[in-house]
Structure 1
């Protein structure tokens, strides 16, 4: 609706400009207006109707039919023929009106007070410039749409990479419980089914409620804690309220997965803390975990970290800060997102 109103206003401004152009650009015209206002008004109306017709003919027919198809000879011939017709019509009107005025004395001759060719040339130039401008704007919109579609497809691919990674790590945890014949095995499987529902259905949306995302992370942490020993300390805190806020799904879970994958040991004491602070529309995520020595084949950052970096760049390009550091015995992640 707004676009349609904008187009109508543009056309009205164009027509108003054409009507007022001779008055402000040709000083000698002012004297003629005072001398013969009726004659001037007839001439002005005729010239501007023809100039406006030339404008729209060029904008809606000549440029799309010839210029955009690189038929420049046809385009030039069309403009010249239009100019000739434009000049002939006022002349024909003058002849008819002069003959009527001569024989019937009640019709004044119509004298062309402005250069008709100048007006038509201006109409052609304006229509050409405006058409090229609109063509450029459409091209920019098309490029932006293609880029958005490309980014959306990449986001889907990256998110799909997370799912197998999540199930692989989670099933390993449940397997460890089953080997020990732990009483928590059944609870872990139930927790997994609830998490799978979120991963397979809720997270398909471009963005999800932050409350659901946090609930998912809480469930994951609880399930992982079922297999930990007393020597593993885990702190998980949520400060602030997430009501009404949304976020790209499964964005922080790779960091938490890596905490449990690379920061837990059955033989030595380990510490892990995951803290999420919510203030207004800013989310701050901080995680620390003890680095447990593993084989050189294990990549501490894992596949999930590079995935998260790219997703953050796509979804929160200039609205996030990610800091990752690896000290001698501690791995630290700090993430801030303007939601």
Structure 2
């Protein structure tokens, strides 16, 4: 509605400017001229009204029908034919006025064509420039819309990549519990079902409540701890209030997942620390874990992290800072996001 009002107002101001132009071109009262002042002013009004008509004719018909379709010969003929008719109209009006026995006449544009043709040419140029400008603006809007749709589709794809990757690792953990006939097998399956419910139903939106995301991460850590021995130390800490804040879902879980995948051992002493600090709309995530060196490296290592990097770039392009450090015996992730 606001756009339509602004367009109408623009056209009104444009027409008002064209029609009122004679006010600024009529000679001063004391200046001697060969033409009747009334005929001169009314001729200018007619000239400007016809020029305004030429503007709209070129903008809304000639350019879309001929210029945009690369029919340049037809476009040139249309403009020349319009100019010829433009010059004939004052003469035709004079014939009608003579028959009606009116006391004034319009200036004959065929006799004095320079001024009218100049005004018409300016109106053609103005309509062409504005049309091309609006074409460019529309193309920019279309590009932005296409990019937004592309980013949204890519975000969905990246998010969907997380789920199989995550559940594959989780099922491996539950399988290990079942092999040992651990009492934690059933609670782990229950915990996994709750997490699947979050992933499938609650994280479908573009963003989720940070409180629920943290609860999901806490549940994940709790479930993973069920299969760890006493030699693996895990610390999970939340500082600050998450009330009312939202975040892109499943964004930090790949880091936590990698902690458990690459930072625990059956016999080696390991340490893991996961901390989330909240201050206003700033979230600071820090993850540290011992690097457990294995003879064979997992070929899929790094898929989750590259996924997170891309999602951060799409959702928090200039509002995040991610730092990943791999020390000889420790892996450190630091992430800061302005939510």
1:87-102 correspondence to structure 2 within 5 Å: 87-98=87-98, 100=100
Q: Deviations over 1:143-194 (max 9, x none)?
A: 1111222222222221111111110111111112222222222111111111
Give the distance between the partners of 2:327 and 2:177, measured in 1 at CA.
Answer: 31
**CA, structure 1 residues 337+32, in 2 after alignment: closer, same or farther (shift >3 Å)?**
farther
Aligned residues: 333
1:97 CA drift (Å) = 2.7
Q: Deviations over 1:275-317 (max 9, x none)?
A: 1111111111100001111123326953101111111111111
| Residue of structure 1 equivalent to 2:153 | 153
State TM-score, norm by structure 2: 0.91
1:32 CA drift (Å) = 8.3
Give the distance between the partners of 2:293 and 2:194, measured in 1 at CA.
Answer: 33
| Residue of structure 2 equivalent to 1:296 | 296
1:29 CA drift (Å) = 7.3
RMSD: 2.3
| Residue of structure 2 equivalent to 1:244 | 244
| Residue of structure 2 equivalent to 1:310 | 310
Where do 4+ consecutive residues of structure 1 move more than 6 Å? Answer: none
1:129 CA drift (Å) = 0.5
Which deviates the most, 214-223 or 175-184?
175-184
1:55 CA drift (Å) = 0.8
Instruction: Say yes or no: does 1:212 pair with 2:208.
Output: no
1:230 CA drift (Å) = 1.6
The DSSP-based 3-state class of the residue aligned with 1:257 is helix
1:42 CA drift (Å) = 2.7
Query: For structure 1, which runs of at least 5 residues remain unmatched after alignment?
Result: none
**CA, structure 1 residues 29+310, in 2 after alignment: closer, same or farther (shift >3 Å)?**
farther
The DSSP-based 3-state class of the residue aligned with 1:201 is helix
Among candidates 106, 112, 122, match of residue 110 of structure 1: 106
1:107 CA drift (Å) = 2.4
State TM-score, norm by structure 1: 0.91
Is contact 2:241-2:278 (8 Å) kept? Answer: yes
| Residue of structure 1 equivalent to 2:50 | 50
Decide which structure has greater helix share.
Answer: 1
Give the distance between the partners of 2:300 and 2:269, measured in 1 at CA.
Answer: 18
Is contact 1:32-1:40 (8 Å) kept? Answer: no
1:48 CA drift (Å) = 2.2
1:22 CA drift (Å) = 4.6
| Residue of structure 2 equivalent to 1:6 | 6
Which deviates the most, 58-67 or 207-216?
207-216
Give the distance between the partners of 1:136 and 1:74, measured in 2 at CA.
Answer: 23
| Residue of structure 2 equivalent to 1:254 | 254
Give the distance between the partners of 1:99 and 1:302, measured in 2 at CA.
Answer: 90
Q: Deviations over 1:32-65 (max 9, x none)?
A: 89x9664345323322221111111111110000
Is contact 1:98-1:110 (8 Å) kept? Answer: no
Query: For structure 2, which runs of at least 5 residues remain unmatched after alignment?
Result: none
